[in-house]
Amino acid sequence: MLNKEQMAAATDIDGTSIIIAGAGTGKTHTLIEKLVNITSQSTPVDPARICLLTFTNDAANTMKARAAKLGAQNMDRLVACTYHSFCDRLMRKYNHLINRPNDYVILEPAMVTDIVGMKLNEYKTDLRNYGIKTPTAKTVASV
């Protein structure tokens, strides 16, 4: 069941939608209903032309699955991912246009801390010999 505002958002199929609301107010359900509406109308929108950005990949996958369960067609063609992974896709696809390589790696914060920790261990003795207290890997990584 959608309220009046949610129904208006879910049935507005002529353009971009940005839905901003607090936790537990039905944003996800509204977006899922919108997906069903725009992919099931008499002239359906090709899901490959839809970009659904969320904060987690799990949320994106859940939304696709729920929309398919409610009748949305071809959800496997829908671009549904996190903001970060979408930007990564764009960079890998178009970096050549600005003469940038595609062989970069994106590191999670914990990975950065681990790498910094390994390098700090290599220099720990030298730092101590100079009377320098070794900072924690987390401190250096955050800098």
Strand, coil or helix: 52: strand
One-letter amino acid at 110 equals A
Q: What letter would DSSP give residue 91?
A: H
pLDDT at 16 (0 to 100) = 74
From its phi and psi, is residue 52 left (phi > 0), alpha (psi between -120 and 50) or beta?
beta
Confidence band of 45 (pLDDT split at 50, 70, 90): confident
Angstrom distance (rounded) from CA 89 to CA 93: 6
Strand, coil or helix: 70: coil
One-letter amino acid at 84 equals H
- pLDDT tops 90 at residue 19: no
For 116, the token pair is: 């910094």
Tens digits of per-residue pLDDT, 49-64?
A: 988 888 888 989 999 9
pTM equals: 0.65
Angstrom distance (rounded) from CA 40 to CA 47: 10
pLDDT at 132 (0 to 100) = 84
Q: Which residues pair with 79 in a beta bridge?
A: 51
pLDDT at 128 (0 to 100) = 85
